C-alpha cells in the first residue's frame, strides 16, 4: 500500500474536508446545541415561574400577616376599650352606691337627731311641769299662805319663761 | 408500572450501549484498517497518509486516504458523543453527562460571545465543531492512527471554509464596500491587500498542519533514534538486546507535548483565529452604522409610502 508524500495537495480531499467540517457543524448544532438549549430554556422558564410563584406566595403571606396584625390590633383596642369602659362603669357604680349610702346615713342620722331633739323637748316640758308642780307645793308649804293656784302657776310660768329667756 | 419502568430502563441502557459503540467502533475500525494495510518497514518512515483508494475524477484523481477515513471515523465518534451526551436530558440535570453537555454548550457560547459579540452568536456551532474535530483529529495519533490534521488537505479544507465565511461576512456590508476595502488606505495597496486576503486561509492551513506534522516527524525521528541507540548499546546482550529499552519513557513524554498539548493548542488557536477573523472582517462600528443607515432608509420609504 503506497502512501502520499508528506505534502500533496489534492483538490478533492480539500473539498471532502470542507464538507466534513460543514457537516460536523450541522451535527453539533442539531444533536448537541439544540437539545441542550431546549432543556436550558425549559429550565429557565420553570425557574422563572417558580420564582414568580414564590414572589406571589410571599406577597400573599405578607398580606395575610398585615391583615392578621390589623385584626389583632383592632381586637386589642376593643378589649382595652371594653376594660376601660367596665372600669369606668364600676367606678361610677361604686360612687353611686357610696353616695346613696352616705345620703341614707345622713337621713338616718338627721332623723335620729330630730327624734332625739323631740324627745328632749318633751322631757324638758315634762320636767318643767314637774318642777312647777313641785315648786307650787314647796312654796305653798314654805310660805304657808293661801294662794290661788292659778295665780301661783302664772307666777311660776313667768319665772320659767324668764329662765328660758336666759 | 415498575415493569414498564424496567423496560424503559433497559431500552435506555441499550441505546446508551449503542451510542458508546458508535463512539468507539469507528476508531477501532480505523486501527484495524491501519494494521491490515501498514507495510512491513524498517528504519525511518516519514510519509503522508496511506492511500486506500484512487478514483478517477475530473481534473485530479479523487484519493481516499487515511486522513479522509480517519476524519469520517472521528465525525462518527463525535456524532456518537453528541447523541450520548444529550441522551436522556432532563430539566433537573440528573446525570453527569448532561452537566458535561451543558458545560460544553455554555463554554462555546461564552467564548463566541466574548470574542465575536452578540450578532455572531450563530458561530458557536462552527467553533464547537472546529474544536472537537481538530482536537480529536490531533489526539487520534495517540491510538496509533494517522492524525488527519497532519494532512494539509484537511486543514486547507477547514481554512477555506473559514475564508468563505470571512468573505461572506464582508459581503454583508455590500459588494461595493467589499471591493473598496481592497483599495485602502490608498489604491496602490490593492495587490498587497489581495495577497493578505488570500494568505489567511493558507497561513491557517499550514500553521495547523505544520504543527501536527512536525510533532509527528520529531516523534518518529526520536523513537527511531532511540531504537538504534539501544540496539547499538544493548544489542550484544542475549534477550534484552531484542527489546528497544531506551525507547521507553522519552517518546511518551514527548508525545504528551507534541500530540496532546500541541494538538489541543492548535485546535484552540484555529478556533480563535476563526472567531477573530470573522468578527474582524465586519467590525461592530461599521455594522452599527449600516444598521442605522438601513433603518433610516426604511423610515424614508415608509414616509414616502405614507
pTM of the entire predicted model: 0.73
Q: Do B101 and A24 touch (CB under 8 A)?
A: no
Can you tell me the ipTM of this complex?
0.86
A positions 58-87 inside 8 Å of B (CB): none
Name the residue with higher pLDDT: A121 or B91. Answer: A121
Summarize pLDDT for B5-35 with one digit per residue, the tens. 788 888 889 999 999 999 999 999 998 988 8
Residue listed under C-alpha cell 386589642? A76
- C-alpha B31/C-alpha B145 separation (Å) is 6
Q: Which of A12, A15, A31 is the closest to B86 by Cβ? A: A31
**Cα A144 from chain centre:** 91
- C-alpha B22/C-alpha B77 separation (Å) is 6
Domain boundaries, chain B: 119-284
By the 10 Å C-beta count (0-12 exposed, 13-18 middle, 19+ buried), B266 is classed as: buried
- Residues present in chain B in total: 306
Question: Closest Cα of chain A to B212: distance in Å?
Answer: 12
Q: Which residues of A touch B51 (CB under 8 A)?
A: 1-4
Q: What is the pLDDT of residue A134?
A: 83
B positions 86-105 inside 8 Å of A (CB): 86, 89-93, 98, 101-102, 104-105
Summarize pLDDT for B170-189 with one digit per residue, the tens. 888 778 888 888 887 788 88
CB atoms within 10 A of CB B139: 18
Q: Do A20 and B133 touch (CB under 8 A)?
A: yes
- C-alpha B186/C-alpha B157 separation (Å) is 32
Q: Do A21 and B57 touch (CB under 8 A)?
A: no
The conformation of residue B43, written as its DSSP 8-state character, comes to S
Q: Which residues of A touch B86 (CB under 8 A)?
A: 31-32, 35-36
Instruction: State yes or no: pLDDT of B48 exceeds 80.
Output: no
> Of B122, B223, B105, which is closest to residue B165 (Cα–Cα)?
B122
* Burial call A105-116: b when 16+ CB within 10 Å, e when fewer: eeeeeeeeeeee
Confidence of residue B42 (pLDDT cuts 50, 70, 90): low
Q: What is the pLDDT of residue A31?
A: 92
Question: Closest Cα of chain B to A61: distance in Å?
Answer: 28
> Of A2, A98, A161, A29, which is closest to residue B130 (Cα–Cα)?
A29
Q: What are phi and psi of A147, to 5 degrees?
A: -145, 135
Amino acid at each position: 500500500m503506497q502512501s502520499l508524500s508528506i505534502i500533496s495537495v489534492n483538490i478533492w480531499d480539500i473539498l471532502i474536508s470542507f464538507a466534513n467540517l460543514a457537516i460536523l457543524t450541522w451535527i453539533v448544532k442539531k444533536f448537541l446545541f439544540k437539545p441542550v438549549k431546549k432543556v436550558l430554556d425549559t429550565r429557565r422558564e420553570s425557574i422563572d415561574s417558580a420564582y414568580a410563584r414564590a414572589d406571589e406566595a410571599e406577597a400573599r403571606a405578607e398580606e395575610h400577616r398585615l391583615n392578621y396584625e390589623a385584626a389583632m390590633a383592632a381586637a386589642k383596642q376593643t378589649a382595652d376599650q371594653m376594660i376601660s369602659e367596665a372600669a369606668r362603669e364600676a367606678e361610677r357604680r361604686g360612687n353611686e352606691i357610696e353616695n346613696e349610702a352616705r345620703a341614707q346615713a345622713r337621713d338616718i342620722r338627721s332623723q335620729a337627731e330630730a327624734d332625739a331633739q323631740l324627745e328632749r323637748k318633751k322631757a324638758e316640758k315634762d320636767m318643767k311641769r314637774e318642777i312647777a308642780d313641785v315648786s307650787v307645793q314647796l312654796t305653798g308649804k314654805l310660805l304657808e299662805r293661801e294662794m290661788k293656784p292659778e295665780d301661783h302657776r302664772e307666777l311660776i310660768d313667768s319665772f320659767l319663761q324668764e329662765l328660758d329667756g336666759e | 408500572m415498575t415493569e414498564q419502568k424496567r423496560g424503559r430502563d433497559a431500552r435506555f441502557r441499550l441505546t446508551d450501549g449503542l451510542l458508546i459503540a458508535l463512539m468507539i467502533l469507528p476508531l477501532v475500525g480505523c486501527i484495524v484498517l491501519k494494521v491490515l494495510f501498514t507495510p512491513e518497514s524498517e528504519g525511518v518512515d516519514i510519509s503522508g497518509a496511506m492511500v486506500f483508494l484512487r478514483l478517477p475524477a475530473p481534473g485530479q484523481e479523487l484519493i481516499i486516504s487515511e486522513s479522509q477515513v480517519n476524519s469520517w471515523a472521528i465525525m462518527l465518534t463525535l456524532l456518537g458523543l453528541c447523541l450520548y451526551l444529550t441522551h436522556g436530558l432532563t430539566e433537573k440535570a440528573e446525570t453527569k453527562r448532561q452537566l458535561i453537555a451543558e458545560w460544553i454548550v455554555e463554554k462555546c457560547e461564552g467564548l463566541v460571545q466574548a470574542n465575536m459579540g452578540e450578532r455572531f452568536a450563530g458561530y458557536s456551532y462552527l467553533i464547537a465543531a472546529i474544536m472537537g474535530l481538530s482536537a480529536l483529529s490531533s489526539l487520534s495519533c495517540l491510538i496509533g492512527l494517522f492524525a488527519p490534521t497532519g494532512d494539509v488537505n484537511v486543514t486547507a479544507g477547514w481554512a477555506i471554509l473559514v475564508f468563505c465565511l470571512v468573505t461572506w461576512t464582508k459581503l454583508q456590508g455590500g459588494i461595493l464596500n467589499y471591493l473598496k476595502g481592497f483599495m485602502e488606505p490608498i489604491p496602490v495597496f490593492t495587490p498587497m491587500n489581495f495577497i493578505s486576503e488570500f494568505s489567511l486561509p493558507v497561513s491557517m492551513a499550514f500553521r495547523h498542519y505544520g504543527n501536527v506534522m512536525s510533532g509527528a516527524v520529531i516523534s518518529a525521528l526520536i523513537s527511531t533514534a532511540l531504537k538504534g541507540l539501544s540496539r547499538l548499546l544493548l544489542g550484544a546482550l542475549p534477550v534484552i538486546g531484542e527489546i528497544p529499552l531506551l525507547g521507553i519513557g522519552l517518546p511518551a513524554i514527548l508525545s504528551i507535548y507534541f500530540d496532546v498539548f500541541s494538538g489541543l493548542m492548535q485546535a484552540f488557536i484555529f478556533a480563535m483565529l476563526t472567531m477573530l477573523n470573522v468578527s474582524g472582517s465586519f467590525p461592530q462600528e461599521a455594522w452599527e452604522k449600516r444598521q442605522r443607515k438601513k433603518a433610516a432608509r426604511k423610515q424614508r420609504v415608509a414616509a414616502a409610502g405614507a
